């Protein structure tokens, strides 16, 4: 098979979602013959099937990968930048918390738009063949054979490849197949939370109803409402709530209960979404899944990527960004190992997981953090963190900017954030107010920070367990 393709291998990517499509460009641009196989219809020709979030936040890790394939500027032009989080407090006032500094922003992009742009670019390489309505129903991972059901004709056929890459999302069939191998670890979680999306329409003059340069958050402790601006001047509003229990997505099932719930917890909503009860009844409840598994490769010939091996809860809005970062890491390994794909598959599988495990843990933590973003302790910590960032620059970067605006490996982000949280807690415990922190910065730096951060010491066990 190699001889037919100028010595380049023939690769099957299962799943033409965000990550599979991007990886197909990386491989197509390097001259590999790629079949990109998708069970759904071609979203460029028909409506995207329901239940998928339409407004996605794109940040540095995602943009970096898009830059590699030459799509960064084009995609950026079609985004809405958001510089801050606007927290809507229970008394009706708002608190603005900047994500970064000097205008740093995360960007909202429409899922269908970006996925379509990736598919166009993949086909434009001349090396990627897209197959839609094509469901990969069986795999023989030893023979590298895929059985594909054509959903239009109802007929199955088999194709054999040099390699198979599973980019088929959290319910990955490729991952399920790999989980059968001896020594494989596989855990798919369905946390108790789900979500429902509502749309805030434009106002009567076809304008935004809320500030469109921020992400709006209505925190309620263990449930939250979040609104992201869309390019068409609407907002996608997502309610994250338990699936079952007294107040839950499954019990909010008639107009009266829904109206009572929103009037009590989110009184702003009735003005913003006149038909919120109707939308709530009509729109589906979606579950939140996460997945951890290992290894991500089989015989150095089969590989998993994106949600297929590390789906995470969406509370940092980072799943796509991390999946895109997978593609830039993969591309870096291709260059480093001179396209020796056996080595690339094995190294990617062995070295990348530590970072995706870290963001999975941090995402769950962020749900609690979002829910508490209206309390004063949270705000004090936020301000002290910012102050330290301004004074100490590279020696101190708060958690969110490290995730959204840097390339720092995610396991290192987690390590630093634990240490920083420990230091901020200590500063607050010793009753330093924000003003005192500012005034006594040199003292605080010498006492708490220099040895830990500047000395580049590993975080000691004592500190972690304190």
Cβ within 8 Å of residue 396, ≥6 positions away: 385, 388, 389, 420, 449, 453
In angstroms, rounded to a whole number, what is the distance separating the alpha carbons of residues 257 and 252? 6
Question: Considering only 164-172, 277-285, 330-338, 354-362, which stretch makes contact with ligand FAD by CB under 6 A?
Answer: 164-172
Helix 60-68 / helix 319-336 crossing angle, nearest 10 deg: 40
Kindly state the DSSP code that residue 308 receives in the 8-state scheme.
H
Determine, following the binding rule CB under 6 A, whether residue 226 of this chain makes contact with ligand FAD. Answer: no
Helix (H, G, I), strand (E, B) or coil at 59: coil
Closer residue to ligand FAD, CB minimum distance, 53 or 406:
53
Chain residues 311-370 in contact with ligand FAD, contact rule CB under 6 A: 314, 317-321, 323
Tell whether residue 72 is a contact of ligand FAD (CB under 6 A): no
As a whole number of angstroms, the distance between CA 252 and CA 246 comes to 9
Using CB under 6 A as the binding rule, whether residue 166 contacts ligand FAD is answered as: no
The residue within the footprint of ligand FAD, chosen from 195, 262, 315, 382 (CB under 6 A), is 195
Among 37, 54, 65, 333, binds ligand FAD (CB under 6 A): 37
Here's the x/- map for ligand FAD, 128-157, by CB under 6 A: it reads as -------xx---------------------
User: Does 9 sit near ligand FAD (CB under 6 A)?
Assistant: no
Residue 229 binds ligand FAD (CB under 6 A): no
> Which residues, in sequence order, are bridge partners of residue 238?
197, 226
Max intra-chain CA distance, the chain: 74
What DSSP string runs through 365-434?
HHHHHHHTTTSHHHHHHHHHHHHHHHHHGGG---HHHHHHS----HHHHHHHHHHHHHHHHHHHHTT--H
Cβ-based nearer residue to ligand FAD, 127 or 290? 290
Please work out, in degrees rounded to the nearest 5, the angle formed at the alpha carbon of residue 463 by the alpha carbons of 461 and 465. Answer: 70
How many chain residues interact with ligand FAD (CB under 6 A)? Answer: 33
Of 110 and 420, nearer to ligand FAD (C-beta) is 110
Of 33, 63, 165, 168, the one binding ligand FAD by CB under 6 A? 168
Cβ proximity to ligand FAD: between 136 and 423 the closer is 136
> By the criterion CB under 6 A, which residues form the site for ligand FAD?
14-20, 37-40, 53, 56-57, 135-136, 167-169, 173, 195, 238, 288, 306-308, 314, 317-321, 323
């Amino acid at each position: 098979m190699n001889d037919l393709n100028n010595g380049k291998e023939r690769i099957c990517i299962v799943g033409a979602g965000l990550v599979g499509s991007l990886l197909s460009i990386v491989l197509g641009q390097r001259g590999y013959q790629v079949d990109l196989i998708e069970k759904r219809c071609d979203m460029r020709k028909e409506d995207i099937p329901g239940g998928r979030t339409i407004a996605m936040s794109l940040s540095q890790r995602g943009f970096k990968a898009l830059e590699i394939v030459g799509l960064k500027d084009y995609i950026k032009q079609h985004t809405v930048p958001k510089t801050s989080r606007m927290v809507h407090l229970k008394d009706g006032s708002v608190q603005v918390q900047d994500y970064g500094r000097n205008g740093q922003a995360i960007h909202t992009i429409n899922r269908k738009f970006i996925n379509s742009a990736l598919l166009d670019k993949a086909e434009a390489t001349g090396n990627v063949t897209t197959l839609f309505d094509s469901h990969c129903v069986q795999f023989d991972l030893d023979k590298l054979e895929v059985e594909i059901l054509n959903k239009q004709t109802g007929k199955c056929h088999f194709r054999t490849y040099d390699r198979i890459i599973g980019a088929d999302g959290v319910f990955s069939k490729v991952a399920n197949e790999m989980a059968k191998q001896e020594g494989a670890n596989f855990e798919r979680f369905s946390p108790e939370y789900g979500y429902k999306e509502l749309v805030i329409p434009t106002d009567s003059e076809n304008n935004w109803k809320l500030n469109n340069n921020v992400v709006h958050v209505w925190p309620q402790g263990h449930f939250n409402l979040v609104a992201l601006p869309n390019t068409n001047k609407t907002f996608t509003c997502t309610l994250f709530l338990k699936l079952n229990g007294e107040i839950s997505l499954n019990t909010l099932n008639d107009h009266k209960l829904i109206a009572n719930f929103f009037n009590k917890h989110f009184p702003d909503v009735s003005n913003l979404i006149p038909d919120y009860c109707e939308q709530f009844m009509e729109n589906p409840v979606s579950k939140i899944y996460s997945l951890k598994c290992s290894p991500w490769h089989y015989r150095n010939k089969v590989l998993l990527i994106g949600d297929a091996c590390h789906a995470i809860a969406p509370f940092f809005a980072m799943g796509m960004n991390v999946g895109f970062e997978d593609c830039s890491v993969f591309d870096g390994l291709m260059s480093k190992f001179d396209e020796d794909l056996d080595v690339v598959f094995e190294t990617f599988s062995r070295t990348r997981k530590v970072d995706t495990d870290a963001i999975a843990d941090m995402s769950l933590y962020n749900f609690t953090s979002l829910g508490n973003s209206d309390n004063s302790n949270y705000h004090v910590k936020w301000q002290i963190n910012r102050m330290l960032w301004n004074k100490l620059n590279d020696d101190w970067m708060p958690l969110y900017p490290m995730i959204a605006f840097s390339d720092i490996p995610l396991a290192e982000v987690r390590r630093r954030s634990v240490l920083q949280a420990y230091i901020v807690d200590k500063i607050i415990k010793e009753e330093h107010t924000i003003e005192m922190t500012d005034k006594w910065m040199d003292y605080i730096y010498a006492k708490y920070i220099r040895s830990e951060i500047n000395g580049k010491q590993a975080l000691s066990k004592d500190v972690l367990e304190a």
